[in-house]
Amino acid sequence: MTFTSKWLVLTWIIVALFPAQAARIKDVSKVAGVRSNQLVGYGLVTGLPGTGESTPFTDQSFNAMLKNFGIQLPPGTKPKTKNVAAVIVTANMPAFTKQGQYVDITISSVGSAKSLRGGTLIQTFLKGLDGKVYAIAQGSLVVSGFSAEGADGSKIVGNNPTVGRISDGAIVEREIPSPFGRGDFITFDLFESDFTSAQRLADSVNNFLGPNMASAIDATSVRVRAPRDLSQRVAFLSTIENIQFQPADGGAKIIINSRTGTIVVGKHVRLKPAAVTHGGMTVAIKENYEVSQPGPFSDGQTVVVPDTDIEISEKSGKMFNFQPGSTLDDLVRAVNEVGAAPSDLMAILQALKQAGAIEGQLIII
């Protein structure tokens, strides 16, 4: 195999999806209502080694912080805040997080600060979507990025010096109510909506617990009858989520990533009778530069004149045909015989789809 053919083989990939294997309920679904919640807050990072900022909102926030400590600056005084930076603090509060527990936080600069390395986040309130404070953040930042700047204006930046993290940087002050203990049912929501998968999940639960204990509501949700007592409900859910069932195979799809040249073909894709031929045309453009000299004793100037050569070559394409019910293996074998590059294969698949010879979806991303 030549280097070119090896490169072509490595450039495009066709993946056959393997038959679905048995999966636990907890691996393909989640309990409805059991979710994390996003928190956000605005604060100040202090103690920066001159890499902070002096912006109107930073100065205003700095003055407000001083007032909270009983410090009133004289009118017209402009503080030098090059060691202070205004930041946005974000966090995800997992489900069932209790008061007094800690969550990780991410701190991002919102102004012109050059780096947050070495800074300390001042006490910041983290609020939820309802505007209530659920956690309070504070602590020393860990910043993996760095930056350095020379006197001549040269600069080097590694990773991102204006974003940092604090492990266990926020303490939870308010719990978020969970619907887990409400009602007589627990609902499982599938990650991938599919009517067949939903029905199989319900059947597996009924086979384990007894008839009419679970029912599929739609292609995503399966409702399971559960005890009301919370301690019993936890033990019940622990048992149910480990039940195994066979999720349904995905639909017949061909996914084409035009940027990377990756092609994924599902195992249920079928081809109708069709004949395909594909030839490649190569256009080569060469620029040759020639020097044009003026005549002796003339007022002309020496110039460089481009001389363009265009060559067009076209190779003959091989023809191959598909019989009724041809499978993925037939398609792969035929394309390998032709030696098609990723762009050629994409063109062939699109042409087959337009001709109605593909049973399945063709999705280009």
pLDDT string in tens for the chain (365-residue length): 443 333 333 334 434 444 457 889 999 999 998 889 999 999 999 999 888 888 888 888 888 888 888 888 777 777 777 899 999 999 999 999 999 999 999 999 998 888 899 899 999 999 999 999 999 999 999 988 655 555 555 555 656 889 999 999 999 999 988 888 888 899 999 999 999 999 999 999 999 999 999 999 999 999 999 998 888 999 999 999 999 999 988 778 888 887 777 878 777 777 777 776 666 544 454 556 676 777 666 666 777 666 656 554 555 555 566 666 666 666 666 666 666 666 777 777 787 788 777 888 888 88
HSE at residue 344, side-chain half, CA atoms within 13 A, is 20
pLDDT value of position 339: 64
pLDDT of the residue at 18:
43
Each domain of the chain, given as residue ranges in start order, spans 3-16+253-364, 37-172, 183-245
User: Ramachandran region of residue 134, left (φ > 0), alpha (ψ -120 to 50) or beta?
Assistant: alpha
Q: Is 109 exposed, middle or buried (0-12, 13-18, 19+ CB in 10 A)?
A: buried
How long is the chain?
365
Crossing angle (nearest 10°) for helices 230-240 and 195-209: 120
> What are the start-end ranges of the H helices in 214-320?
230-240
The pLDDT, as a whole number, for residue 359 is 80
Question: 286-321 burial, b for 16+ CB within 10 Å, e for fewer?
Answer: eeeeeeeeeeeeeeeeeeeeeeeeeeeeeeeeeebe
Read off the pTM. 0.68
The pLDDT score that the predictor gives to residue 1 is 45
